[in-house]
Amino acid sequence: MNSLRTDVLVHVTATDRPRDKALEILRRVEGGVFADALLEQVRQAFDGRDSSFIVELVYGTLRNRSWLDWVLNVLSVQSLEKTDVWTRNILRLGAYQLLFLDRVPASAAVNTAVNLAKVYGKKHGYVNGLLRNLDRRRNTITYPETENPAKRFSVLYSHPEWLVKRWLRRFGIKSTETLLRNNNLPAPLVIRTNILRSTRAQLCQALASQGVATKVTHYSPVGLEIVTSPGIRSLMAYEQGWFIVQDEAAQLIGLMLDPKPGEAVLDACAAPGGKATHLAELMHNQGTVIALDNNPERIARIVENSTRLGITIIDAIQGDATNYHEGTFDRILIDAPCSGLGVLRRHPDGRWNKRERLIKDRAVEQQRILENCARLLKPGGALVYATCTTEPEENEEIVNLMLDAAGTGCRLDDPRPFLPASAASFVSDKGFLRTYPQEPGMDGFFGARLVRDNGP
């Protein structure tokens, strides 16, 4: 369906509209669409309470989809896969509320699901019977009985089995289970202080005066975690550009590059501008940051964020990082397009929309970007290659391929002198930075710092 079904909302009471929109998003996600943009669009029509409820319903259902399907299949006379996409997602939505949301009465979860089924799917009797059966038997549900840890974890923690197998091979049973469990927790909302306009202490005080509870991040010197808030975009500190939303792990990547005022810097895959603006702030808004991206719509996001933060040295340019060749640079950041498997707690729909093949496809593109951008680095300059994925084919293997190639003139550099002392433990003996959702509880990022020799 290309647009929201406003024509049928007469069948659903006003209090059901958040569930109606959550259902529409879940249906489209199953068709291959990512949830973020849909949520951003839909939430604008709701107040803060209903907006938060929609996010809870969508992300909660996606984070637990395999487990919900397993439970429903145990109780159903037919497999969920044999019913239509609307009915399937109505059942998931209802089951999520019954099993995970104590504040939602069981009667409300069932009745609203039945009302939705009368409009979408037309199987309200089936939905009513199955969800009421689930409500009666919810305390008797047992874990899947299988000795295969990949299959068991895939169901219990709702991750694709191919990915669970990969992580079991690399991390072992205990660490994999911890990673899967943490991926199912809501990701913290972390912001980065705009040091051009405020200090972290000043921002913390300003936010407190606006009803926001925060706590300082342990690893980033300018980060704050939002504990409670009336809504980010409603805050005066947001409107005045005192901060930008950015996970703590991503903040470490900018510090690794260590750009200086007056330098020429390239952010090769820049949208939506979080890291480009960080680099400009570290440069005290002096010099030049070329923010490159191949999507014109995403270029607009870079401009929007730069303008709000009061940054004037960013030049947002549409271009392809695999063949861009305009000038040379003192510093280059490559936040490479990747499989995104390190941020599944933040984007749970990625579990269901991504396939293992994507890792190889991304690796080909990443290698081309790194090889091209390394040629643009001035003698003595520094380059940081980063991803938000856990997979070695997209991380150290890409860096090692480039370093092994003849004539690159680059070598791996130790990033620890440029990081806070508390983050030094994230750097391996080989000089690669890695963070994971299970430990230290940040997004899963990889980073490598390279430097070009000064030459003869």
Query: Which of the residues are catalytic?
Result: 388
Dihedral (C-alpha) 228, 197, 253, 318: value to the nearest 10 degrees?
Answer: 110
What string of DSSP letters covers 372-387?
A: HHHTTEEEEEEEEEEE
Residues in the chain: 456
Task: State the chain's maximal CA–CA distance in angstroms.
Answer: 79
DSSP H stretches of helix in 317-380 = 350-353, 357-374
DSSP 8-state symbol, 142: -
For residue 201, give every residue at least 6 positions away whose Cβ sits within 8 Å of its Cβ, in sequence order, or none. Answer: none
DSSP 8-state symbol, 104: S
Task: Check: CB of residue 118 under 8 Å from CB of residue 90.
Answer: no
Task: Check: CB of residue 402 under 8 Å from CB of residue 374.
Answer: yes
For residue 456, give every residue at least 6 positions away whose Cβ sits within 8 Å of its Cβ, in sequence order, or none. Answer: none
Instruction: Please name the helix (run of DSSP H) or strand (run of DSSP E) that holds residue 435, with its range, or none.
Output: strand 433-435
Closest by CA position to 15, among listed 43, 50, 47, 48: 50
Q: ω before 144 within 30° of 0 (cis)?
A: no
